[in-house]
Amino acid sequence: MKCVKCGLAPATSYDSQCDDCAGWTREPLPWPDSSPAQYSGYATYKDPGGLAMAVIVLLACGIAVDLLALLASANQVSVANALLSDPFGVSVARRDASDGLNAIAALLQIIALAATAVLFVIWFYRVRVNAEYFGPNSQRKGRGWAIGAWFVPVASLWFPKQMADDMWDASIPALPDGGRPRVSHGLLNGWWTLWISSLIIGRLVDRIFTDTETAEGIHDAGVASMISDVVSIAAALLAILVVRKLSDRQRAKMHYGQMALYAPAGVPL
């Protein structure tokens, strides 16, 4: 990729400019390895690249499972429409096949969600510690909240997002003059909005599924499930971008040696 400013030299900085246009006055440091860890007096830095890739793979698997669930829900709606047109025109075998496909998709969604959630929280904690390494005083919540915030009722609706905002800002490489560039939280806002929406819609779908004795109930449950799957897929796609972007920014900041050099020496936490 060429520099967006001069269009001649390769882009090497976080803002897609070459070293000359970006104003760098020294050679960048080598890309950090996850071992041995590098640390300031406040926190230990570890490269989040490996964890990020694993999370992205699981999110992609979750999208594939959601696509299967979307197909199962579409089939359920088709069966419901057939029942509404002719209550005796749908065989028991077709109804059983539809129910079986929905059951398999639901089970796979639970497995995919559980596996992704565990690894995502581990990654989230890792980048939270890294953010503290870059800016010890830039985080409004303690690192323990990187795990606990996801499980505390009500607080889980905004604490993780607040922490993600702080980590996002702390991980932006500083400008050559030491200033901090202004960054947008649009990607984070979109991801979090879709994530919360998927939780709410999922609860509504669970309630609708309690009334599927009639053709109308089967139809409504299928439509609601399709909406839930679409929102979940969109949320997962943005989550992939968030994981990749935040991890790359931390690696870029470490690449240019912009750790918290002013932190007092001591044993890393």
What is the tens place of the pLDDT at every residue in 46-97?
899 999 999 999 999 999 999 999 999 999 999 989 988 888 888 889 888 9
Residues 6+ positions from 49 with CB-CB distance below 8 Å: 34, 247, 251
Residues 6+ positions from 257 with CB-CB distance below 8 Å: 28, 29
* Sequence-separated contacts (24+) of 125-130 with Cβ below 8 Å: 126/46, 126/48, 126/51, 127/48, 127/167, 127/171, 127/246, 127/247, 127/250, 128/163, 128/167, 129/43, 129/44, 129/45, 129/46, 130/43, 130/45, 130/46, 130/48, 130/167, 130/171, 130/250
Q: Which of 30-34, 36-40, 148-152 holds the top average pLDDT?
A: 148-152
**How much is the pLDDT for 91?**
86
**Mean pLDDT, rounded, of the chain:** 80
**How much is the pLDDT for 156?**
92
The percent of residues in the chain predicted with pLDDT above 90, rounded, is 44
* pLDDT tens digits, 118-132: 999 999 999 999 988
> In which region does residue 255 sit, left (phi positive, over 0), alpha (psi from -120 to 50) or beta (all else)?
alpha
CA dist 141 and 44 (Å) reads: 17
Q: Which residues of 220-252 are buried (b: 16+ CB within 10 A; e: fewer)?
A: bbbbbbbbbbbbbbbbbbbbbebbeebbbbbbb
Give the mean model confidence (pLDDT) for residues 21-34: 42
**How much is the pLDDT for 205?**
81
3-state secondary structure of 28: coil
Give the mean model confidence (pLDDT) for residues 22-32: 41
Integer-rounded Cα radius of gyration of the chain? 23
Residue 136: pLDDT band with limits 50, 70, 90: confident
Give the mean model confidence (pLDDT) for residues 2-21: 57
- Check pLDDT > 60 for residue 19: no
* pLDDT tens digits, 165-203: 999 988 887 666 656 667 789 999 999 999 999 999 888
Least trusted range by pLDDT, from 26-35, 63-72, 227-236 = 26-35
On whether the CB atoms of residues 70 and 230 are closer than 8 A, the answer is yes
On whether the CB atoms of residues 163 and 145 are closer than 8 A, the answer is yes
- Check pLDDT > 80 for residue 15: no
Residues pairing with 45 in the sheet: 38
DSSP-derived secondary structure for 61-86: HHHHHHHHHHHHHHHHHHHHHHHHH-
Residue 261: pLDDT band with limits 50, 70, 90: very low
- Check pLDDT > 70 for residue 217: yes
- Check pLDDT > 60 for residue 26: no
Which residue did the predictor score with more confidence, 245 or 22? Answer: 245
Residue identified by tokens 């900041």 is 253
Which residue did the predictor score with more confidence, 266 or 132? Answer: 132
What separation in angstroms does the CA of 38 have from each of 31, 35, 116, 150?
Answer: 12, 8, 27, 28
Q: Which one, of 59, 201, 199, 159, lies nearest residue 117 by Cα?
A: 59
Residue 230: pLDDT band with limits 50, 70, 90: very high
CA dist 170 and 174 (Å) reads: 9
Residue identified by tokens 């920014």 is 249
**How much is the pLDDT for 246?**
95
